[in-house]
Amino acid sequence: MTVVTRFAPSPTGRLHVGNIRTALHNALFALKHGGRFLLRIDDTDLERSREEHVDAIHADLRWLGLHAHDFVRQSQRFATYEREFERLRDAGRVYACYETPEELDLRRKVLLGRGLPPVYERKPAGAPLPQGVAPHWRFKLDHGRSIEWDDLVRGHQKFDPALISDPVIRRADGSWLYLLPSVIDDIDLGITHVVRGEDHVSNSAVQLQMFEALGAVAPHFAHEALLVAAEGKLSKRLGSTGVDALRDAGIEAMALLSLLARLGTSQPVEAKRTLGELAEGFDFSTFGRAPAHFDLAEVEQLNAKLLHQLDYAEVADRLPNDIGEAEWLALRGNVAHLGEAAEWLRVIRGDIEVTEVVPDDKPLLAEAASAAAELDWDNDPWHALTAKLKDSTGRKGKALFLPLRRALTGRDAGPEMGPLVRLMGKDRAVSRFEKAGR
């Protein structure tokens, strides 16, 4: 069996971290098993779907590196849905209903008041039909046996169909709801594994009977625990933290994906450089049932760790032209976001604002200017300079290194000074020491 998975977003807004996690897990599972990962745009709701959101989904997935093997749109498949709908109606598995939303709501309240499950009550055969009212359509569940499957995350699942309302699959205006078109698409596209959030578990129970009614073998299901904010409450930020916001904040795609690949599993979260590395250890058996806690601070930490190990070739096209391999190797260990490299470029080659110099440090810096001017700058000027000053002044440790760093960079911390000083050059270093030592 060739594994085929799909990511099926609705184009009603930008992708956020919950969507990204679903897309990633589908892509990783297919990649691990040498299968195919498909993108399906669920745009049956023509009123709410927007073409700009379709374009944004494509752009977001490209930035994330999640490249689909194929792409389909539900809005181009209405004729197929109509054909299968008629087949189900002829088989007696689809029937018309005429209740208004208000009538249904009132009946649910009555049933709840009686201590009964608020399940839709089928009308007896031959019941009079209202005139001039367009029906909505429901799928008729088979109450004769339980619905069961072995979920890849949740284990064995069992539902009593008699306790589930026959689902509405088509509105009175002829438009489609999610359930039936999704099943038809999964059959036509040969989907073998459906990976989605646990909020779809009851949908899967219903859809299993739809697969059977259409004479198809159902795919395997994996229902994952939903994301929650780090503090344990459902976070509005998770719905608003989109790919565009993360990208604009300087987050590397692989930093985000490294967290989302392991979040909610028993595996350690590590900064990985490729999807292939993430796919190697991807296993649904490691996923727990507890909510997965998402924290942007963890993404930031992974972002820094990832940047610290990236080679120049992996970031060259996103760096300013003035930053070459030597500059990147000197700076990468001290940047949390790629954009910070440009700030350090100004330290290396531009002008800096030096903090006020402690009077006791001025003689040290003046001596540093003289010593630096005499050094062989082609070897290791920083260590030669500090060794000479240590001998001549008796200073060591922070008392020696901090005033020198401040004079050269205007900062108390940063990249290793050896490579930085060589990139800065003799003339600039001597000038900064002279200015600070006056």
Q: What is the pLDDT of residues 326-367, one digit of tens each?
A: 999 999 999 999 988 988 988 998 888 877 888 999 999 999
Quick one: pLDDT at residue 127? 78
The pLDDT, as a whole number, for residue 343 is 87
The residue ranges of every structural domain in the chain are 4-79+176-228, 92-170, 231-312, 313-349, 359-437
- The binding site for ATP comprises 236
| DSSP secondary structure code for residue 136 in this structure | E
Q: Classify domain 92-170 at the CATH topology level.
A: Glutamyl-tRNA Synthetase; domain 3 (3.90.800)
CATH number of 4-79+176-228: 3.40.50.620
Largest Cα–Cα distance of the chain, in whole Å? 107
One CATH from 3.30.470.30, 3.40.640.10, 3.30.70.3450, 1.10.1160.10 for 231-312: 1.10.1160.10
Instruction: Give dist(CA 89, CA 93) in Å, integer.
Output: 6
Binding-site residues: 236
What pLDDT, on the 0 to 100 scale, is given for residue 231? Answer: 58
Segment of 57-71, 245-259, 330-344 carrying the highest mean pLDDT: 57-71
pLDDT at position 233: 44
Position 289 confidence tier, pLDDT thresholds 50, 70, 90: very high
User: How far is it, in rounded angstroms, from Cα 272 to Cα 260?
Assistant: 11
Q: What does 250-310 look like in DSSP terms, one character per residue?
A: T--HHHHHHHHHHTTBSSPP---SSHHHHHHT--GGGB-SSPEEE-HHHHHHHHHHHHHH-
Question: Is the domain 359-437 a CATH 2.30.30.90 member?
Answer: no
Q: What is the pLDDT of residues 193-213, one digit of tens each?
A: 999 999 999 999 999 999 999
pLDDT at residue 236 is higher than 50: no
